[in-house]
Amino acid sequence: MNPDVLAFGLVWYVVFLLSLTCHEAAHAWVAKLGGDPTAYEGGQVTLNPIPHIRREPFGTILAPLITFVASGWMMGWASAPYDPYWRQRHPRRAAWMALAGPAANFLLAVAAAIGIRIGLAVGVFAMPQTLRFSQMAQAATPGAAEGAAVFLSILFSLNVMLGSFNLLPLPPLDGHTGVGLLLSDKAANRFAALTSGSMLSLIGIVVAWRVFDEISGYVFRIALTLLYW
């Protein structure tokens, strides 16, 4: 790899780790607010990535680096522990906990969009002729603005995609637990019991990838419309 690719990969990884950390910290924080201190006691209510890396070292280090080398795209995962009995007693609180992760991703996307719009307003950034995942804006002049443009572009794009993907109501994604907000406590627990299990989670991930592959283009177009209205 040449220095430019290494620098690009480093920016990618910083954004990726920041996004996962905020996602899981949001889960842990809302669970604590809802009466489940499991993740809090495990040190997950933090924006320090170290506790999250320790819990899922393969998903936070090896998987993203391997997928980036193989495809130029980072994939991985992290997790925050919770008390399953708390979820059974308070399915609506568990639903809010689940939806807090995607909400954190959308907040990061909004922050990135604000940064891009400010850069455009002051002349640091310019709108590129071709919009890409890592090129939502381009630097108007060489230098630090180039790195900032790439950072904010990936931060915007990645978090739009992470938030949207995790909202799909399929196990084991956050949207699956979030469905509990639309159901009674009894129905939410029954739904969770009927759709739990490692095999269903595996099937859910496969189906979610197929579904998201079909809708991701529309999601991205909506995000671009909001960014460059």
- Token pair recorded at residue 58: 């393969």
Q: Would you please indicate which residues are annotated as catalytic (active-site) residues? A: 24
Q: Which amino acid is at 118?
A: I
* Cis peptide bond upstream of 172, omega within 30: yes
User: Length of the chain, please?
Assistant: 229
- CB-based contact 189:88 (threshold 8 Å): yes
- The token pair at 113 is 């969009």
Phi first, then psi: what are they for 36, rounded to 5°? -115, 105
C-alpha 45/C-alpha 183 separation (Å) is 28
Nearest partner of 159 among 136, 182, 128, 189, judged by Cα: 136
Q: Mapping DSSP to helix (H, G, I), strand (E, B) and coil, where does residue 125 land?
A: strand
Rounded Cα distance between 175 and 163, Å, is: 10
- Provide the residue type at 137 as one letter: A
Residue 62: DSSP 8-state: I
Distances in Å between the alpha carbon of 79 and those of 3, 125, 147, 183?
A: 32, 35, 29, 25
